[in-house]
Amino acid sequence: MSTSALLIDDDIKLCELLKTYLTGHGFKLAVANNVKDGLRQLRNEDYDVVLLDIMLPDGDGLEVCKKIRSDSTVPIIMLTARGADEDKIIGLELGADDYLAKPFNPCELVARMKAVLRRKGAATDGSLKAIEFGDFYLNEQNQKVMVKGKEIELTSAEFRLLKILASNPGKVFTRERLMDLVQGRDFDGVDRSIDVHISRLRTKIEPDPRNPRWIKTIWGTGYRFQS
C-alpha cells in the first residue's frame, strides 16, 4: 500500500516534478498550492507525512506548521529556499520533524520522508515499527528501551512517558498535556510529578542528565524529545 503525502507548495514546476518522482518511489502525493487548500485537504483526508513550504502566497509556513501540530502528530518536513538556521530552529520548535532547504535532490527528500516515517513508527505498509534515533531504540510491543546498545530498565510510568515523547520528536508537550496522556496510578494528578519522572528518565537514558541529549526542557512550557 502506498504511503500518502501532502505537498503544500506554490511552486507548480516543483510540485509536478515531485509528484512524478514520489509516485515512482511508492508514495501517493496530493498537492495544494496555498494554505487554504492545504488545510482543507488535511481536514478531509489522513496523510502519513506533510511536505510544507515555508513561504506561501496566503500565509507563513511556520504558522501553518504550528496550526497543524496543535491537533495532529502527522510528520512534517519543511521545504524552503530560506536556509537560515533561525528558520530551521523555529520550525523544529514549532513541531516540524525535519527541514530541507531548496534546491534539493528528490532522492534526499525520499530518504528524509522514510526516516521520519520510521521515527513515527509508521512503515510504508502501515505496520508498527520500533522507534530508533541513532543510539536510541524503543520498542512498544515488548516495552524495550536501549541506549548505546544497553537495555534500560524503566517503570511502566516512565515507559509510557518516554514513548509519548519519542513518538512525537520535536513536538512540545505541556506538563498538563503529558498528564492527560500518561495518567495512571503512578501519576498523582500534580503536574510537577511529570518533572520527577522526567528527571528519573534522564538519569537512566541520558549520557549527561544535566545536559540532556534527548529530553529537552522548554522553559515555561514543558518538554520535547530531540531526534
Q: Could you read off the pLDDT of 16-60 as tens digits, one per residue?
A: 999 999 999 999 999 999 999 999 999 999 899 999 999 899 999
pLDDT tens figures, 89-133: 777 777 788 888 888 999 999 998 988 887 665 433 444 457 888
- For residues 11 and 100, membership in a common domain is answered with yes
- For residues 100 and 208, membership in a common domain is answered with no
- For residues 10 and 114, membership in a common domain is answered with yes
Q: What's the CA gap between 162 and 198, in Å, rounded?
A: 9
Domain total of the chain: 2
In a domain, 171, yes or no: yes
pLDDT tens figures, 61-81: 989 998 888 878 788 999 987
- For residues 15 and 114, membership in a common domain is answered with yes
Cell of residue 172, nine digits: 512540545
215 phi/psi in degrees, rounded to 5: -100, 110
- For residues 136 and 112, membership in a common domain is answered with no
Quickly state the pLDDT bin for 184 (edges 50, 70, 90): low
Q: For position 99, which CATH number holds?
A: 3.40.50.2300
Q: Which of 90, 119, 148 is the last residue of a domain?
A: 119
In a domain, 126, yes or no: no
Decide which of 13 and 159 is more confident: 13
In a domain, 175, yes or no: yes
| Residue 8 clears pLDDT 90, i.e. is over it | yes
In a domain, 57, yes or no: yes
Count Cβ atoms below 10 Å from residue 210 Cβ, excluding itself.
Answer: 6
Domain that holds residue 147: 131-225
In a domain, 125, yes or no: no
Q: For position 152, which CATH number holds?
A: 1.10.10.10
In a domain, 36, yes or no: yes
69 phi/psi in degrees, rounded to 5: -70, -20
Which amino acid would we find at residue 207?
A: P
- On whether the pTM is more than 0.85, the answer is no
Residue 176 CB contacts under 8 Å (≥ 6 apart), including other chains:
191
